[in-house]
Amino acid sequence: MKTINKTFGESMREIGDAFSGFARHCQRALARMSWPSLLGMCIVMALLITILPLALMLFACFLLLKLLVGKNPPPTRHFPRQPQQQPHEGSN
């Protein structure tokens, strides 16, 4: 009877094959790119690497701050309700 489960070594070999195929694809794409497009791609990747983690960190910090403030709301002051004055109908 044949087993349908892969061994750990087979799984690692499959991951290695997929990674090497991806690396070959990237190598061919980089070889076909012109110098200006390669420079543009490098600038975009540098921006993503530096700005995206900063944005995610700020989002997480503000979300945590919102949760902490929401957990302990500021005390509200209750003023006694004033009865409304009815206008006098006879006075002009």
Q: Is 73 a residue whose pLDDT tops 90?
A: no
Q: Can you give the pLDDT at residue 58?
A: 96
Q: Taking a C-beta distance cutoff of 8 angstroms, is the pair 69, 77 a contact?
A: no
pLDDT in tens, 4-40: 778 889 999 999 999 999 999 999 999 999 999 999 9
User: What range defines the domain where residue 31 resides?
Assistant: 8-70
- Rounded CA-CA distance 60/85 in Å is 51
Structural domains of the chain, count: 1
Q: Is 90 inside any structural domain?
A: no
Q: Is 83 inside any structural domain?
A: no
Write the single-letter amino acid at 25. Answer: H
Q: Taking a C-beta distance cutoff of 8 angstroms, is the pair 33, 41 a contact?
A: yes
